[in-house]
Amino acid sequence: MLHIGCHLSSARGFAAMGRQALDIGADTFQFFTRNPRGSRAREADPADAAALTALLREKAFAPIIAHAPYTLNLCAADEERRSFAREVLSDDLHRMELLPGQYYNFHPGSHVGQGTAAGAAHIARALNAALWPGMTTTVLLETMAGKGSEVGGRFQDLREILDQVELAEKVGVCLDTCHVSDAGYDLIGDLDAVLTEFDRVVGLSRLKAVHLNDSLNPPGSRKDRHARIGEGCIGTEALARVVRHPALRNLPFCLETPNELPGYAAEIALLRRLAE
Ligand code: FE
Ligand code: FE
Ligand code: ZN
C-alpha cells in the first residue's frame, strides 16, 4: 500500500496532527519543528508526544517527518549564524526523542559564496557535533532546487556531506520532486535515469522519503515554487510514475502542495488510485 500524507500545522499539538492525518486518508505526515521562519520552539508536551506515538503504532503509520525551519543555515558565512543553526539542530534532535524512530528533514543550506565544498564541510561538522550513537531519529538531507547558492541542488553535494559524517547510518536523503526537476534532473522524461544517477552518486539505500510536489516552473529553472499535483510543469502522469516506481513505492510520500485539508485529501485519494 502507498504510504502518503501531507504537511500539517503543528499548532494544536502532536496527537491532533495524527488524528487530522487519519481524517484525510494519510498514513504519514510532516510538520515544522518550530515556526518555519522564526526560531522559537513550542514547549514540547511528553504526554501529547506519547499519545501520537501510540496512534502511529496502532494505525501502522509509515515514519513521519519533522521539518527544520527554512531559516536554518548550517553553512552560513557568518560564524554566529552557523552556531545558532547548530543549536537549533541539536535542540530539535533532542526533542525528537519524544517521538522515537521518526525522520528529521532539513535543507542543507546556502553557502553564500563560500563554495559548495566549504558549505558541505560546515554541514558535516554540524552533524558530527549534533548526532549521537543512541539517537533513534534518522536525519534527512533534502534535495534542493539549486536556487542561489543552495547546497543540495546536485546529488554530488549530498555525497560530499555524507562522506564527512561520522555516524553515517543516522543520515539519509529526502527527494523532493519539485526541487529535483527545478535543479535540472529529467524527472518528467526519464525517471529511471534520474534514479540510476541517484543510486550511483548517493545510493538508493540512503533514500528514506519523498516530497511529492508539482512545480510551477520548467525543469532546470532553479526556482522552487510548488504547485498542486497536475497543475504544474511536472504533471500527474510523471508524478504517478514516481509513486509507482519499484525503487520508491515503499517509501513515505509527503505532499507539500499549496492546499488546505480538503485539497490534500483529494490529492491523497488521487495518488492512492494512481499507485494501484
Ligand atoms: Fe523542505
Ligand atoms: Fe520539500
Ligand atoms: Zn520547496
* Interval between CA 65 and ligand 2 midpoint (Å): 11
pLDDT of residue 186: 98
Active site residue 256: yes
pLDDT tens per residue, range 32-90: 998 766 667 777 899 999 999 999 999 999 999 999 999 999 999 999 999 999 999 99
Mean pLDDT, residues 143-156:
98
* Interval between CA 78 and ligand 3 midpoint (Å): 24
Average pLDDT of the residues of the chain? 97
Domain 3-275, what fold? TIM Barrel (3.20.20)
- The one-letter amino acid code at 64 reads I
Residue 152 Rama label (left phi>0; alpha psi -120 to 50; beta): left
Residue 32 DSSP class: E
pLDDT of residue 40: 72
Three-state SS at 151: strand
Q: How far is CA 153 from CA 35, 70, 107, in A?
A: 24, 16, 10
Active site residue 142: yes
**Lowest mean pLDDT, pick from 9-13, 219-223, 230-234, 238-242:** 9-13
Active site residue 111: no
Grid cell locating 260: 488546505
Q: Give one DSSP letter per residue of 237-272, joined into a string.
A: HHHHHHHH-TTTTTSEEEE--S--HHHHHHHHHHHH
Where are the domains positioned within the chain? 3-275
Active site residue 86: no
* Interval between CA 256 and ligand 2 midpoint (Å): 7
- Contact between 222 and 153 under an 8 Å Cβ cutoff? The reply is yes
Share of the chain above pLDDT 90, in %: 95
- Contact between 267 and 227 under an 8 Å Cβ cutoff? The reply is no
Q: Give one DSSP letter per residue of 43-66, joined into a string.
A: PP-HHHHHHHHHHHHHTTPPPPEE
Please determine, for residue 213, whether its predicted confidence score (pLDDT) is greater than 90: yes
* Interval between CA 59 and ligand 3 midpoint (Å): 29
* Interval between CA 175 and ligand 1 midpoint (Å): 10
The catalytic residue among 27, 92, 142, 267 is: 142
The catalytic residue among 82, 86, 179, 206 is: 179
- Contact between 19 and 54 under an 8 Å Cβ cutoff? The reply is no
Active site residue 226: yes
Active site residue 70: yes
Query: Which H or E element spans position 34?
Result: none
Mean pLDDT, residues 247-267:
98
The catalytic residue among 92, 160, 224, 267 is: 224
Quote the pTM value: 0.97
